[in-house]
Structure 1
Amino acid sequence: MQRKFLLLSLIFLVFSCEEEEKKLTFLEKSITTEHNKIVEINIPEAQGNEAVATKINKALQAIVITSLNFEPEASTKSLSILESIDNFNTEYKNFNTDFPESPMQWEAQIDGEIMYQSEAVISVALTSYLNTGGAHGNLIISFLNFDALTGQLLKNEDLVNDIKTFKTIARDYFNDQIAGKEADYFEPDNFILPQNIGFNNIGVVLLYNNYEIAPYATGLTEFTIPFNDLVPYLNFM
């Protein structure tokens, strides 16, 4: 009887270890190259379930590569992050050669964080700031939502089951957010959903980047709709 108990315990331990290895976790990864001086990258790296982690990591890497590349249409097909970092540095050297009198210093910083993680969905925010000599730098935040079971990158329309009702609720929160500042927006009465929709521990986050619905001076517009107002309309709860 004791031998059987030990055998069952060993089987349970092995099974538990295998399940733990499959559990998806994230570590922060800093990426640079030998001669890099102006690019700083710190992004989450998925580990655990290899098939799921690979899909997520490839999607995050593609955003980073596109952000650094001056020809984004070809970047994700032909370059790695390391190649993109070196190319960005090379472009800056070429700029200095062509305009030696310019005091402008280029910089690129890309940071990522896990906004939300459940057994159903994972939301990641990537913030990229690039300054390549213009009047001001270019700040872009990208939300990426993944199916936690498959690693599949989700579209905004995959997140909700009733887009019409979702948009109505979002419009009310948007109007509250910009109350008294309507003049700062292009068409405040013509509500559109943002390109960035994600999750945090409170609810669903909607974020508009610079120029998406307002001039640069207005900055980002962001608000959160609590889960309690949206549970019937969400696919990943």
Structure 2
Amino acid sequence: MTKFISPLLFLAAITLFACNQSQQNTDSTSAKTADSAATDTIAYTIEDYRLESEVETEVTDTMGKTYYQVRYPKFDEANLGELNRYLESRLSFIYPDTSSETIDEAAKTFIKSFDDFQKEEVKSPFPWYTNTEILVPVNTPLYLGLEVRTDNFTGGAHGSYGVLFTNYDLQDKREINLNEIIADGKMDSLTQIAETVFLENEKKARGEEAPISSFFFEDNKFTLNDNFLLKKDSLLFLYNIYEIKPYSDGITELAIPYTQIENLLTPKAKEYISQHSQL
């Protein structure tokens, strides 16, 4: 399987934190999607963090100062403290070249990177920024599906952005991997079905057939990554910018209906998916 690849993964370092605001999650539209509107799902508040650099740039435009900010759900610490720490680790995962384990560390690293760069002979005339938000598109009593959205600018012709899904078992308090969703020996079958759906989607979008060689797959061989989410009716994969297409094509979503892969799913996967119908 290919891994999530995007320029944002190659940023030198990041940073964050200064003010901590908390707002109660009182309406389902701001913090939950239609997949998670039930009253028996776990509740959370929304936390906001932001850290700004004190170093000025020649051009401020509408961006103001260089900053790093993140918005994410915070769950009950007494019962779901492990989940909160897991979420924080996912924020740092966006930038794997760093050793940051907390939002604080990640933020301070990002701001320091900018401040140090501005001391060089060639410096940025524009401020940098990083915005990260964790959404909760799937919230069931057993399974939590999270969506980490990030956009940033650290110089160059344009910024970068990406989406990472992460899946969490609320009962076992651990991350869920794709090999727990697809039965042993069935990954090739999933890949074949996914390729068919992928090419059909591309044909509809382009108005003509597009061979696999039109994309960035290694050795012109279709592959699935492990950036997935268990939706109500489908197993959703997402390819980020530059991963299989040029920047101008943006991200690519690939939804594989469960009706096409029911015999490939593990009993545990079916249990996760069944939670949707109970909401």
Taking structure 2 as the reference length, what is the TM-score of the superposition?
0.65
Please state whether the residue corresponding to 1:97 is helix, strand or coil.
coil
- Of all paired residues, the percent bearing the same amino acid is 20
Deviations 1:25-54 (A, max 9, x none): 33322123486851120112233772xx23
Structure 1 residue 127, shift from structure 2 partner: 1.1
Distance 2:130 2:122 in 1: 20
Is residue 104 of structure 2 the alignment partner of residue 75 of structure 1? no
- The 3 A distance-change label for structure 1 pair 23 and 174 is closer
Q: Give the aligned CA root-mean-square deviation in angstroms.
A: 2.8
Aligned partner of 2:100: which letter? S
User: Contact conserved, 2:52 with 2:111, CA < 8 A, in 1?
Assistant: no
C-alpha separation between the residues in 1 aligned to 2:239 and 2:228?
A: 9
- Tell me the equivalent position of 2:269: 236
| 2: CA distance, partners of 1:75 / 1:48 | 21
**Pair 1:186-2:210 in alignment:** no
1:22-171 matches, cutoff 5 A: 24-33=42-51, 38-47=67-76, 50=79, 53-67=80-94, 71-72=97-98, 74-76=99-101, 80-99=102-121, 102-161=124-183, 162-171=186-195
Alignment gaps of 5+ in structure 1: 1-21
Q: Which amino acid aligns with 1:39?
A: Y
Match of 1:133, SS state, is: coil
SS in structure 2 of the partner of residue 90 of structure 1 = helix
Q: Structure 1 pair 68/213, CA: closer, same or farther in 2 (3 Å)?
A: closer
**For residue 251 of structure 2, what is the amino acid of its counterpart?**
L
Counterpart among 236, 249, 253 of residue 222 in structure 1: 253
**2-structure distance, mates of 1:61, 1:128:** 14
Maintained 8 Å contact 1:121/1:236? no
Asked if 2 retains the 8 angstrom alpha-carbon contact of 1:23 and 1:48, the reply is no
Amino acid at match of 1:31: Y
Q: TM-score, normalised by structure 1?
A: 0.75
Gaps of 5+ in 2: 1-39, 55-65, 271-279
Per-residue CA deviation, residues 121-164 of structure 1 (Å, 9 max, x unaligned), is 22111011121113322212111111121221111111222323
Does the aligned pair in 2 maintain the 1:115–1:199 contact within 8 Å?
no
Aligned residues: 209
**Partners of 2:164 and 2:145 in 1: how far apart?**
10
Deviation string, structure 1 residues 164-210 (Cα, Å, up to 9, x no partner): 33222212211112223446412495110123111223321111112
Larger radius of gyration: 1
Any idea what SS the aligned residue of 2:94 has? Answer: helix
